[in-house]
Amino acid sequence: MDNRYYFEKTHGNMVQIEGQEAQHLLKVRRCKIGDEIVGFNGDGIDYSLKVKEITKQYVLTEIIDKKINRVYEDVDVTVYLAMIKNDALSTALDNLAELNVKTVKLFRADRSIAVVDEKKLEKLRTNIIQASKQSERADIMNIEIIDKTKIEQDTKDKICFFAYEDAQDKMTSFDGNFSVIIGPEGGFTTDEVKYFSSFAKTISISKTILRAHVACVSAVSALRAVNNAC
């Protein structure tokens, strides 16, 4: 992790590292001209970079090699997560990023207490970059907000599971990309259960009632275990 840095700006074969990433390079790692580091920008590629110029605002590097990130995978996993309290949400997103989830779509459930707006979303995205560094991903988990009523249409072209504590069906093997719907701290209402069950396969992931930030991790882990493409 200490040798991995996120970047946004490129100039031909040159990469400019700025902000907190540059400050970490300068003040913590104390990088020097000629040092080699690994950079990533969310495209699934690891960039081998050599430091060429150092200023107080940025570190300019040259791309000397690039390769597909070793943990990058083709299976696209999407989690539809009801909005939950901030600390639990941050924990859930960190863990899902470490599990190589591609996308998290937050929705307001009937019993959601917390509200996530675009301002809070930007802060969460910053945290996700750090989680990607920790897990050595080279792509960035996407996070967005979706209206609950749009989830059915959004999952039309993929296998969708609905994590529900009263589900009777056991998980069975399947192939390819998948998505899973996870509820808020207070669970789903009867109307929501009816709605999600109408288009998603209901599954039980535990005999006990799991908190939302635990349930999403358990669901993704369990589904990966029976996904023949993983």
Q: Are residues 63 and 142 in the same domain?
A: no
- pLDDT(1) > 90: no
Number of domains in the chain: 2
Q: Specify if 120 maps to a domain.
A: yes
CATH code of residue 14 = 2.40.240.20
Q: Indicate if 58 and 87 belong to the same structural domain.
A: no
- Phi first, then psi: give them for residue 120, nearest 5 degrees: -70, -35
Collect all residues with Cβ–Cβ distance below 8 Å to 20 and sequence separation of at least 6: none
Last residue of a domain, one of 34, 68, 102: 68
User: What range defines the domain where residue 40 resides?
Assistant: 4-68
Q: Above 80 in pLDDT, residue 170?
A: no
Do 146 and 42 fall into the same domain?
Answer: no
Whether residue 56 lies inside any domain: the answer is yes
CA distance 226 to 230: 8
Instruction: Write down the pLDDT at residue 217.
Output: 94
Q: Are residues 209 and 98 in the same domain?
A: yes
Cα–Cα distance for residue pair 22/31, rounded to 1 Å? 10
15, 39, 68: which is the final residue of a domain?
68
Question: Does a structural domain hold residue 64?
Answer: yes
Q: Which two tokens stand for residue 156?
A: 């039309």
64 and 81 fall within a common domain:
no
pLDDT tens digits, residue range 11-46?
A: 889 999 999 899 999 998 899 999 999 999 989 899
Entry pTM: 0.86
In the block, tokens 């967005």 appear at: 144
pLDDT of the residue at 11: 86
- Render 75-135 in DSSP notation, one character per residue: --EEEEEE---HHHHHHHHHHHHHTT--EEEEE--TT------HHHHHHHHHHHHHHHHHH
Query: Both 141 and 218 in a single domain?
Result: yes
CA 172 to chain centre: 25
In a shared domain, residues 35 and 98? no
Query: Are 85 and 153 within one domain?
Result: yes
Indicate whether 62 and 153 sit together in one domain.
no
For residue 195 the two structure tokens come to 């709605």
* CA terminus-to-terminus distance, the chain: 25
Q: What is the pLDDT of residues 36-82, one digit of tens each?
A: 999 999 898 999 999 999 998 899 999 999 999 988 888 899 999 99
Residue 125 lies in a domain: yes
Asked, for residue 230, whether it belongs to a domain, the answer is no
Tell me if 13 is assigned to some domain.
yes
Please tell me whether residues 55 and 87 are part of one structural domain: no
Domain check: are 63 and 173 in the same one?
A: no
